[in-house]
Structure 1
Amino acid sequence: MSSSAPATVADMLPRMAASQPDATAIYFPTKRRDAQGLLEYQQVSYRELNERSDQIAAGLHAVGIARGDRAALMVKPSPELFALTFAMFKAGVVPVMIDPGLGIRGLATCLANAKPSAFIGIPLAHAARIALGWGRATVNRWIWVGGWVGGWFSGVGSGGHTLAQVEALGAARLRAGQPLGSTGPDEIAAVLFTSGSTGPAKGVVYRHRTFSAQVESIRSMFGIEPGEIDLPTFPLFALFDPALGMTTVLPDMDASKPARVDPRAIIEPIQRFGVTTMFGSPALLNTVGRHGEAAGVQLPSLRRVIAAGAPLPAQTIARWHTMLGPSADLFPPYGATESLPVACMPCREILSNTWAWTEQGAGVCVGAPVPAIEVRIIQITDDPIPSWDEQLVLPDGEVGEIAVRGPMVTEAYFNDAANTDKAKIREGERIWHRMGDVGWRDEHGRIWFCGRKTHRVVTSDGQTMFTVSSEKVFDVHPDVYRSALVGPRQGPTLCVELEPGCARAWDTIVGELRELAAREQANGCEPGRGLGGVSLGQIQHYLRYDARGGFPVDIRHNAKIGRERLRAWAQEQLP
């Protein structure tokens, strides 16, 4: 981190508001359209955002939500979400952020683990809280954001306030000269729950210094400058924008369903506002890319498209390259909620330098580790590793679990010692995080991703097959949209989702997929080791998956394949 970098994320918005007070911080889409049919946007300046967050921060203290308290935050992408989040950072209140898509049971479990004492949300979230008893044992303060609130539901006098009341109380405290207090770098900044795509969602503890290290790494890695314009399609990533001095253009979309986005809701604001950066999941980029290719869309203002959630397919990359200028690119940073970013490699370099090996089973090259992050490939085990030992480290070229250490690496899961023990390795005062991914390092120091550790498939003779490195061999087939290797009791099985509109005979396609497997065996997957020396001839079954909506996917990015559900489906299909 640079010496001039803020020590906490609470310092970042005030610093940007001081340097560019009148710059637009947020453009928020309304439901209104002007005489020309253009969507109207609410505009919020950096000064307004900073002042409002100050008032809310003081108001939180006024209504009894104190420094160190945890507060569940369930607010849709909006100026209120930005103001509340930075207010909580300033007030030392810890936001607990959970994906609504986890469903009723998942949300209840996460809230029970987080034990928040406050609940801040839209009326629908409060209705669910009251009806379903979320946080009943711990929540004693609540704030309603937006919508009509009346009668007993408002809870005024019994721990409940509207956001407007909180702001008014905070403004009075500030006028009276009551200070907010300061926030330290080691304080907990937030508890962010994982997507739950590979097991129960876990609450990741973020300290202020972790957030600060992330912001500085992202700024340096992508060369982001204050005054740039961002279109974030994932709410949590949008919260980096004020810290980076960027203008946020919130898209008119349902952030919980990125794969179903109307491409015009992305393309129109990019062209209208001259957006320089956008963030999207591979599923969203696939939807927009198909439309853009068919319509001949050009997006010359974009400098970078940042993608996360799953590896980008080559077809999606190629479609976006037709829309971008020659100096712009897609960047799929490798990382996780527990550690982001870890590595990154621009897609033009991926396609020109490494993709040929990906198609032969080497895995997906995610690039060299970013500065300040150390990466080691260690022996694969499902058991906890209490302490670091150099004997764990595998030589270059050998597939193992990816482990990382550095200032962007989180140290624990909240109130979850069992999962913390499984994911963290102690080396004195320092922590290694086990990514839960398998991969290998090449002679250039680049990391190759081969799949999730829990998704590996073991054959009847005890050999291990890795998912992503195996699937990419088959994904080159022109009729295959994506594939997924699973391991039902009947043996290694490749599930295949075909391209939309494909009318060719399935038996013919299966024959061609078997030929691809045989070709991989002849190539020997050199120079990479992504297949771990196991032939794709071990795959015993090929199944076409044609259910409406395609493969089951995660709720956050709609891109990570739900392999547990797919394995159960395959088991039902096979004799």
Structure 2
Amino acid sequence: MFTRHHGVWPSDLPKTMTLPNTSVFTNLAISALRYPDHPAIIYYDTVITYRELLDEVEALAGYLQAQGLKKGDRVLLYMQNSPQYVIGYYAILRADAAVIPVNPMNRAAELEHYISDTSAEFCLAGQELAGFIAPLVGETHLKEVVVTAYSRYLREETDLNLPPEVAAPAEPVEGTGLTDWQDAIRANKAPAPHTAGPDDIAVIPFSSGTTGAPKGCTHVHRGVMATAVHRAFWNLSTADTVQLATLPFFHVTGMTGSMNSPIYSGSTSVIMTRWDRNTAARLIERYQVTGWTNIVTMAVDFLSNPELGNYDISSLKTIGGGGAAMPAAIADKLKKLTGLDYIEGYGLSETMAATHINPSDAPKAQCLGIPVFDVDSRIIDVETLQEKGPGEVGEIVSNGPQVTIGYWNRPAETEAAFVEIDGKRFFRTGDLGYYDEEGYFFMVDRVKRMINASGFKVWPSEVESLIYRHPAIHECCVISAPDPKRGETVKACIVLTPEAEDTTTVDDIVSWCREEMSAYKVPQHVEFVSELPKSPTGKVMWRALQEQEWQKEA
């Protein structure tokens, strides 16, 4: 067991944790019993209590079972952040079925893959997305789509800026196999007794599919419970904690940090359907938000807002996330503004969010953190699988209660994803990193992202971190580019700050890089762009940029 980090372990937390021997749904049932009139959700100024949330979950679960949903079946959840997402997610679990969270940006081909791969017969969909999945009813395993308009849950007047999908009025739900969400709830069907336990399948989030078709990461209730409980204790959450929910719930970080964990502790989630930095600041001020789990690019945008000084965000007690290393300059700005450190963490779809988090009283910058409760992490040689020591770069592998039991219907890929060490099964993350003498883990890069320039290994994330020190840089992404002599070389795609757009040249950036980093790391090509492509979770899509670059050469 890796214990090097125990010297910096938070003094008020145990190093091991006994998890509840119950399903994830029971967290909602218990919180509704304890805090029936406490706000579970605040949605653009509409409050939904725990009692109301549970009542709608029970009704929707009963409807799905009446339509033929059985224990162990899979249900697609295809919508954006909203009260309906939470209701749908917990209704599926209440019905003893498994949630298939679907990226709202997915369209016909991806949807067909999810349906065929999981044999899903039911889908819960947002009104703005229903048209993409409705044609698949009857043409695939899919039998029924329950459709909802987010505006149905705007029950109070609001002066907040509403995304178009939220402001849109409900439209008639018509078509074969399509059911109006309100009709399903109003049917008021009582569900059968809840029987799912800790070892039943709860959620199957799909990987990004960077190599071949997306793979389903199979998680049982015990694993989903682990990250929900771990997060609540690590952040010392209580029923009075108020969490701003801006990360999409279909992604495991948003699912865990902004939905499952708050429900476990009986706290409140202030939900945003779409990211808007001014709306986020207003919500923090209006509802005295105490915690915000985000992604680095979102935090950068929030802190770059010239109007931020107009809002009181002093209620924030914790702010953190991951997805990429937090640039030092942005972290310093956060510290000066709020007195808070940005608490970085690390996890994957295969680990149902965090396996590592920085201790709040001793965080390190641009660091993944330390292994959390009962997580054993090591660094191994990618080829020989031998363990590495402090400061030595290798692949991060992890064993813990939140690790996937395997890829859905892919036994060969499941076997390849694990390695046995000391008689335990460790998941191979595909991420290169190292740990220091105190047991903090640091990311170097993805195994498949490394740039090999004439034999010199260049880690794009390291170069990005260095470039962010330049005051003219708003965002940057480092990729490989074809080179006739070196095979491949370094290219930086850069978004300048508004102040620097008319005064900064490519030569300025290249000259600065030559002063700040080793010659082989200096970008041979620099391109100024108006924006970087991002996934719905806010991650910069480096692979898309890199593929475009190599296609130019082809």
CA–CA separation in structure 2 for the residues paired with 1:475 and 1:108: 40
SS at match of 1:184: coil
Matched, 1:219 2:232: yes
**Distance in 2 between the 1:187 and 1:379 partners?**
34
**For residue 446 of structure 1, what is the aligned residue in structure 2?**
440
Q: 2:146 is matched with which residue?
A: 143
Contact in 1 for aligned 2:65/2:95 (Cα 8 Å): yes
What SS is found at the alignment partner of 1:301? coil
Q: Which residue of 2 aligns with 1:374?
A: 376
Q: 2:322 aligns with which of 299, 302, 308?
A: 308
**Which residue is 1:562 aligned to?**
542
User: In 2, Cα distance between the equivalents of 1:541 and 1:287?
Assistant: 25
Question: Aligned residue for 1:74?
Answer: 78
Q: Pairwise mapping of residues 325-474 of structure 1 onto structure 2 (< 5 A)?
A: 326=339, 328-339=340-351, 340-345=353-358, 349-350=362-363, 355=365, 364-381=366-383, 392-426=386-420, 430-460=424-454, 462-474=455-467
Identity %: 21
Cα shift at 1:80: 1.9
Q: Contact 1:486/1:495 (CA < 8 Å) preserved in 2? A: yes
Residues 25 and 247, structure 1, Cα contact 8 Å, conserved in 2: yes
Distance 1:130 1:299 in 2: 42
Provide the rounded CA distance (Å) in 2 between the counterparts of 1:513 and 1:319.
23
Tell me by how many angstroms 1:496 deviates: 4.0
Note if 1:94 corresponds to 2:61. no
Deviates more, 1:1-10 or 1:74-83: 1-10
CA distance in 1, matches of 2:186, 2:529: 52
Partner residue of 2:130 out of 126, 130, 133:
126
CA distance in 2, matches of 1:194, 1:27: 30
Note the C-alpha offset of 1:319.
Answer: 2.4
Q: Contact between 1:270 and 1:299, CA under 8 Å: does it hold in 2?
A: yes
The amino acid across from 1:332 in the alignment is E
The answer on whether the counterparts of 2:125 and 2:146 sit within 8 Å (CA) in structure 1 is: yes
**Cα separation, 2, equivalents of 1:145 and 1:205:** 27
Q: 2:29 aligns to what?
A: 14
Supply the distance in 1 between the matched residues of 2:424 and 2:115 (Cα, whole angstroms): 29
Partner of 2:494: 497
Contact 1:332–1:346 under 8 Å retained in 2 = no
Match of 1:250 in 2: 271
Which position in structure 1 is the counterpart of 2:116?
112
- C-alpha contact (below 8 Å) 1:197/1:560 kept by paired residues: no
Distance 1:216 1:442 in 2: 27
Once the two structures are superposed, what CA deviation does each residue of 1:474-520 show, in whole Å capped at 9, x if it has no partner?
Answer: 32222233444433330321314143232123213311211112xxx
**Offset of residue 270 of structure 1:** 0.6
Tell me, what secondary structure is at the counterpart of 2:129? helix
Letter in 2 for 1:77: N
For residues 515 and 289 of structure 1, the distance between their equivalents in structure 2, rounded to whole angstroms, comes to 28
> Aligned partners of 2:48 and 2:308: how far apart in 1?
35
How many Å apart are 1:545 and its aligned residue?
2.1
Residue 200 of structure 1 deviates from its aligned partner by: 4.6
Shift of 1:23: 0.5
Equivalent residue of 2:217, what SS?
A: strand
Give the total of aligned pairs.
Answer: 503
Q: Pick from 61, 68, 71: which aligns with 1:64?
A: 68
Give the conservation status (yes or no) of the 8 Å contact 1:344–1:367.
yes
Q: Supply the distance in 1 between the matched residues of 2:519 and 2:300 (Cα, whole angstroms).
A: 30
Partner AA of 1:15 in structure 2 = I
What amino acid maps onto 1:74 in structure 2? Y
Deviation at 1:160, TM superposition (A): 4.8
Q: Distance in 1 between matches of 2:479 and 2:56?
A: 50
Q: Could you report, residue by residue, the CA deviation over 1:210-256 in whole angstroms, capped at 9, with x for unpaired residues? A: 011111111121111122111110232232222231111113x52xx
Q: Distance in 1 between matches of 2:131 and 2:307?
A: 43
Q: Which moved more, 1:471-480 or 1:506-515?
A: 471-480
Q: Counterparts in 2 of 1:40-51, with a 5 A limit?
A: 41-51=45-55
Q: Does 1:209 align with 2:226?
A: no
| Residue equivalent to 1:524 | none
Amino acid at match of 1:114: T
Tell me, in whole angstroms, the C-alpha distance in 2 between the residues paired with 1:314 and 1:198: 32
TM-score where L is the length of structure 1: 0.80
Q: Distance in 2 between matches of 1:128 and 1:103?
A: 6
- 8 Å Cα contact 1:58/1:180 also seen in 2: no
1:165 aligns with 2:186: no
Q: Corresponding residue for 1:285? A: 299
Distance 1:12 1:226 in 2: 13
Q: What is the rounded CA distance, in whole Å, between the counterparts of 2:18 and 2:362 in structure 1?
A: 32
Which residue identity lines up with residue 516 of structure 1 in the other structure? Answer: E
Distance 1:85 1:428, change over 3 A: farther
**Per-residue displacement from partner, 1:525-559 (whole Å, max 9, x unpaired)?**
xxxxxxxxxxx32247532222332x333x13223
Shift of 1:16: 0.6
Distance 2:359 2:141 in 1: 46
Normalising by structure 2, report the TM-score: 0.83
C-alpha separation in 2, matches of 1:117 and 1:172: 19
